[in-house]
Amino acid sequence: MLRALELAANGPERGINPRVGCVIAAPDGTILGEGWHRGAGTAHAEIAALAAAGADAVRGATAIVTLEPCNHTGRTGPCVDALLGAGIARVVYAVADPGADSSGGGARLRAAGVDVEAGVLAADVDAFLGDWMTTAKLGRPLVTLKWASSLDGRAAASDGSSQWITGAESRNDTHLLRSQHDAIAVGSGTVLADNPSLTARASDGSLLPDQPVPVVFGARSIPEGAKLRQHPRPFQHVDGHDLAAVLRQLRESGIRSLFIEGGPTLASAFVRAGLVDSFVAYLAPTLLGGDRVALTDLGVDTIDGALRLAITDVARLGDDVRITLTPKGQ
């Protein structure tokens, strides 16, 4: 299984599909073939390993694979069918496939008379798969909500100006976080008011190697001269009425992590819907007062209904403080 995990690491880190490795071994332990999944639309790890071993060698052999063989037809056929057709006698895998459509491969193999062992190095493989496992279980991307505010929770001054509440260190840190997410989201109101580029940039203004896909929530059209139209990746314009449905759609397009930066309306809607997995707040040691708050109505009427968060990290960035939190009980 350790060798299968090594092979899995050859696959692409991002995208809708997990990184999976497979080893085909003879009854005496001799390795007959190896394979890994190279990305969406390509042969799964089991298929690649079977092909490397050759049809004449694999009958009665063991397939060792990091993830439970899939049991559904997507861009490729079920790996279960390929293993049964090849005459594999034993299958060993680490973690169960969490997908509603793709799971059940182990049970089907057992029903067909294949010796199946599950859970080998499960903790290692689960940690390796990381956010893919989480998003597969959730059926949506992981959502990080970020805002920058004054100490009294204002995201802008009374006249609407907001550049710059926080210092350069916080802004540089925000760009790094952007680059670590598959997509960055704002509302159409933010696009119209602020005309953001939504790129991830270094302190000298140059583009970082990893750029998030820009996503705009809302029905209002995007002007032809909007900066995000110059983004190195095409933007997606989505209807924001059903956030859960949009998130499912984004995951199906290969987005596993979403960084929300845009405006109190969009931010508050995600919080109200219970769709935020992580909060990142940059607090500047300044007071603004007024009604330009970072978040608006969250559906909280009493203190007993407050949304309680757990602090996972606190860091000082120049004069500012960055606090990272998750919903309690998560």
Give 293's DSSP letter.
Answer: B
Following DSSP, what letter does each residue of 177-241 receive, concatenated?
HHHTSSEEEEEHHHHHHH------B-TTSPBPSS-PEEEEESSSPPPTT-GGGGSSS--EEE--S
Which parts of 112-152 are beta strand (E)? Answer: 115-118, 142-150
Q: Which of 6, 13, 34, 46 is catalytic?
A: 46
243 three-class SS:
helix
Tokens 């690649």 label which residue?
48
46 annotated active-site: yes
- 297-307: b (≥16 Cβ within 10 Å) or e: eeeeeeeeeee
116 three-class SS:
strand
Q: Beta strands 183-187 and 213-217: pairing type?
A: parallel
> Which residues are the active-site residues?
46
